[in-house]
């Protein structure tokens, strides 16, 4: 009990408590059916369309039907969980929970969301090509490699943001 009180009273303890509350809250809101239907599902479709734009720029003849990105060579479905949203929520919760100016937080959220999403587009494009050239590697690349890379990217991006925007302690 004393340890919990001590942790809660420290700046690190307050950060962890805020982070956990924000992360659970953001995931709960994203999982709520009306939000999933009106925001998450259209966002996932947007990711499919943006990935198609990137693949077309690389010369692929892909089409999008909902959240399915396909060509005569390969098809990939972008599900919730493959849309980058989980990594974005991890990053956003960290930025919002950290003691920094609201301007720094807002800028961090906007730039972080864009950065994670750009990496996620690279992820989808690379998974498409893995499916084309080495379909036997698709599951490993998708589940073990890219899920890890995207989450680690969000955490490392947050650490860079913290290093840049942490409020300096007052000197007495």
**Residue 92 belongs to a domain:** yes
Is residue 71 scored above 90 in pLDDT? yes
Domain for residue 172, yes or no?
no
**Domain range holding 73?**
11-165
Instruction: Identify whether 124 is part of a domain.
Output: yes
| pTM, entire model | 0.87
Give domain status of residue 6, yes or no.
no
Q: Per the domain annotation, does 76 fall within a domain?
A: yes
Structure tokens, 138: 């698709």
Judged against a pLDDT cut of 50, whether residue 93 lies above it is answered with yes
Q: pLDDT tens-digit profile of 103-159?
A: 999 999 999 999 999 999 999 999 999 999 999 999 999 999 999 999 999 999 999
- 171: pLDDT strictly greater than 90: no
Looking at beta carbons, which pairs linking 153-156 to residues 24 or more positions away fall under 8 Å? 153/87, 153/115, 153/116, 153/119, 154/87, 154/88, 154/90, 154/91, 154/112, 154/116, 155/90, 155/91, 155/94
Domain count across the chain: 1
């Amino acid at each position: 009990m004393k340890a919990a009180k001590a942790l809660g009273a420290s700046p690190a303890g307050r950060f962890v408590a805020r982070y956990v509350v924000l992360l659970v809250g953001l995931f709960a809101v994203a999982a709520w059916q009306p939000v999933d239907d009106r925001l998450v599902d259209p966002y996932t479709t947007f990711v499919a369309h943006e990935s198609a734009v990137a693949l077309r720029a690389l010369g692929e003849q892909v089409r999008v039907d909902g959240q399915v990105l396909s060509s005569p060579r390969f098809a990939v479905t972008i599900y919730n969980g493959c849309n980058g949203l989980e990594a974005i929520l991890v990053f956003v919760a960290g930025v919002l929970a950290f003691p920094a100016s609201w301007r720094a937080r807002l800028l961090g959220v906007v730039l972080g969301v864009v950065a994670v999403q750009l990496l996620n587009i690279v992820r989808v494009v690379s998974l498409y090509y893995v499916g084309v050239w080495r379909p036997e590697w698709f599951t490993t690349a998708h589940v073990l490699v890219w899920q890890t890379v995207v989450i680690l990217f969000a955490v490392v991006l947050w650490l860079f943001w913290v290093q840049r925007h942490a409020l300096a302690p007052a000197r007495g």
